[in-house]
Amino acid sequence: MDYQATLERIHNALKPVIGQGKVASYIPELANVPPEQFGMAVVELDGTVHSVGDAQVRFSIQSVSKLFALTLAFQREGDSLWARVGREPSGNPFNSLVQLERESGIPRNPFINAGALVITDILASRFTAAETATSSFLSRVSARPDVTYNARVAQSERQTSSRNAAMAHFMKSFGNLHNRVGDVLDAYCRTCAIEMSCVDLARAVGFLVNRGVNPWNNETVLDASSTKRLSALMLTCGTYDAAGDFAFRVGLPAKSGVGGGIVAILPGECGICVWSPALEETGNSYAGSLALEMFTTFTGKSIF
């Protein structure tokens, strides 16, 4: 498969629509990101990298970080983790409080904000600094030693985190948050503010592509069964309340973030990441979603 030619074909086809949509302006630092950027990368299991556009530019990975925080928490907790967070699609916006009351403070899945706060709480109990643990894990799985967060973005997000604070306090009232709410929110915002490039993230999901084994250092990150289960969660819950439509159009497990990044996996073959900051209404990158749909259409490869 000539992935480089495929990426160039996608980039050329999308040039008229790149920049359409809106950046995540409710986080003031992200409001300043130029929307006309686009990068896409494919990293094969032998390490071969294919890329176009701004694929080497670091961006705020935002909720893409939830995939790696979940993996780290699952390594420590195993299946006991699911007593505190569910595995079902939410069908609601990622920052909705509606289901929490009805479901006694148990978030529907780990990829909505409430679920990610519980995951952060678990990591805060296991590590001195949850955000450092996640960035260090990302360094290992991406073979990029300098993964860290942008302090300005983290502060900007923290200053506008009233709804996340409300969810955290609500879950704490049900006993589903064990650490101080302020500490969990600080760690959560810093984790969301981690910056990586498309190439970095396409490498970082290599262990999910490779049945749980990191292809860059042969570390077993997850067993094959757990890899299957986390990949299934990506497919059903990874792109906010558009997950069903995304699976219908694209057919790959994926995790998106409001920074405009979407990381996806083609099991046994490659990791894929696309970034374009302008979002559609669901919070997914507009051009990024189209790019991944084109990728599976042009290559004829998906999990179906």
Q: Is 173 in the active site?
A: no
* Catalytic residue from among 33, 52, 66, 263: 66
* Catalytic residue from among 90, 240, 274, 285: 240
* Catalytic residue from among 156, 188, 250, 276: 188
Rounded-to-integer distance, Cα 257 and Cα 11, Å: 20
* Catalytic residue from among 63, 142, 156, 276: 63
* Catalytic residue from among 43, 85, 258, 263: 258
Q: Is 184 in the active site?
A: no
C-beta separation of 250 from 296 below 8 A: yes
Q: Is 258 in the active site?
A: yes
Rounded-to-integer distance, Cα 280 and Cα 283, Å: 6
Q: Is 26 in the active site?
A: no
Q: Which long-range contacts (CB under 8 A, 24 or more apart) does 107-112 make?
A: 107/171, 108/237, 109/85, 109/233, 109/236, 109/237, 110/66, 110/70, 110/85, 110/233, 110/237, 111/63, 111/66, 111/67, 111/70, 111/233, 111/234, 111/237, 111/238, 111/240, 111/255, 112/237, 112/240
Q: Is 172 in the active site?
A: no
Determine the distance from the C-alpha atom of residue 268 to the mean position of all C-alpha atoms in its chain, rounded to a whole number.
20
- Catalytic positions are 63, 66, 188, 240, 258
